């Protein structure tokens, strides 16, 4: 079972097949009917992201940017009813190590992450390279792991190390940060992070030490697909309405053929008579359930 769809907004997104599993989450649920009880009791299951592959051009020399094939496994999509497929960017969990400034540029505030604690080998590797997280969205979680209703966009990330400073009025250490490519820490600048000109005494919230966050790629927006699995489609209905038919009066069979003159449907026809008078009362046409009679053919009649 397959489908073709486009992903991305203002630009066509081109995700390598080898990276789809690290960048995309696919879930689905099944409900037998559209009734309230059926829908509310439906539980989402995860699909392997490998069911999504890039669409290729005719000569197979290149891909169609932003266009993907979705091949849904029949082992899961095999019931008559309704399926909801939810495709969204993968969310990676991390924790804020510090909120600090740059030693050389004290006006630049940023989020410091320890790359060893990022919950994804793929994103962990990207975070260890300068500016590879640019464009990612940071979603902030509250103390109950609920999503807060704002986010920030990463504008840069560079590996850094702390610089200890001792405030004149306190014995507590504080830290600023300087760039250092051998470190496992990365200093992330986000937008917005500077105070607005009309309210320069209040800096935008960019998180707090120890707060859990989600790192989310911005390659595409979440997509919902509704799929209905049915017994008949337009072609099969057309076969029944317009297909050639053979009525075998000796055997009481009506055989319907498709456009290739292959047997599509067969039913038995018989008459019910009044038990007292023997007069025909009903003519019954019933789907043949004990095997198709393949001797029925348009060629031999």
Q: What is the side-by-side strand order in the sheet with 223-229?
A: 45-47, 24-31, 81-89, 223-229
pLDDT for residue 200? 57
296 is a domain residue: no
Task: Read off the pLDDT band of 157 (50, 70, 90).
Answer: very high
Q: Cβ distance 184 to 128 under 8 Å? A: yes
pLDDT single digits (tens) 240-249: 888 898 888 8
Query: For residue 110, is pLDDT > 90?
Result: yes
What's the pLDDT score for residue 150? 87
Tokens of 40: 């509310």
11 pLDDT band, cuts 50/70/90, is: low
Give the model's pLDDT for residue 283. Answer: 85
Q: Contact, 123 vs 198, CB < 8 A?
A: no
Strand partners, 31: 82
**Picking from 9-23, 79-93, 189-203, which range would have the lowest pLDDT averaged per residue?**
189-203
Residue 283 domain flag: yes
Query: Per residue in 189-220, pLDDT tens?
Result: 998 876 555 455 567 899 999 999 999 999 98
Query: How confident is the model over 107-132, as a mean pLDDT?
Result: 95
Note whether residue 223 is domain-resident. no
Check whether residue 97 and residue 207 sit in a common domain: yes
**What's the pLDDT score for residue 42?**
84
**pLDDT greater at residue 227 or residue 49:** 227
Domain range holding 61?
A: 2-89
For residues 140 and 213, the answer to whether their CB atoms sit within 8 Å is: yes
The pLDDT mean for the chain works out to: 87
Domain count, the chain: 3
Q: Are residues 111 and 171 in the same domain?
A: yes
238 pLDDT band (50/70/90 cuts)? confident
Query: Average pLDDT, stretch 114-132?
Result: 95
3-class SS shares of the chain: helix, strand, coil, % to 5: 10, 45, 45
Q: What is the pLDDT, as a whole number, of residue 295?
A: 85
Mean pLDDT over 115-133 rounds to 95
- Whether residue 118 is found in the same domain as residue 80: no
């Amino acid at each position: 079972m397959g489908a073709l769809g486009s992903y991305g907004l203002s630009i066509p997104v081109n995700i390598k097949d080898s990276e789809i599993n690290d960048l995309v989450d696919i879930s689905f649920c099944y409900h037998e009917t559209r009734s309230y009880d059926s829908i509310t009791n439906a539980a989402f299951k995860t699909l392997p992201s490998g069911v999504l592959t890039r669409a290729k051009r005719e000569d197979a020399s290149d891909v169609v940017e932003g266009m993907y094939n979705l091949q849904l496994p029949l082992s899961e999509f095999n019931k008559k009813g309704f399926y909801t497929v939810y495709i969204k960017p993968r969310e990676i969990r991390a924790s804020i190590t510090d909120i600090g400034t740059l030693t050389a540029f004290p006006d630049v505030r940023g989020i410091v992450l320890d790359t060893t604690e990022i919950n994804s080998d793929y994103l962990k590797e990207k975070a260890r390279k300068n500016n590879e997280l640019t464009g990612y969205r940071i979603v902030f979680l509250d103390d109950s792991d609920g999503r807060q209703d704002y986010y920030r966009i990463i504008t840069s990330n560079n590996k850094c190390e702390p610089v200890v400073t001792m405030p004149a009025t306190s014995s507590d250490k504080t830290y600023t940060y300087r760039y250092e490519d051998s470190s496992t820490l990365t200093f992330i600048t986000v937008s917005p992070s500077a105070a607005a000109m009309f309210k320069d005494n209040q800096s935008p919230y960019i998180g707090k030490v120890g707060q859990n966050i989600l790192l989310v790629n911005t390659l595409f927006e979440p997509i919902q697909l509704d799929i209905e699995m049915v017994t008949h489609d337009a072609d099969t209905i057309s076969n029944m309405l317009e297909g050639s038919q053979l009525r075998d009066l000796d055997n009481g069979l009506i055989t319907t053929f498709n456009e290739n003159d292959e047997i599509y449907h067969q039913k038995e026809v018989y008459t019910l008579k009044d038990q007292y008078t023997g007069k025909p009362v009903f003519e019954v046409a019933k789907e043949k359930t004990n095997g198709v009679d393949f001797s029925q053919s348009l060629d031999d009649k």
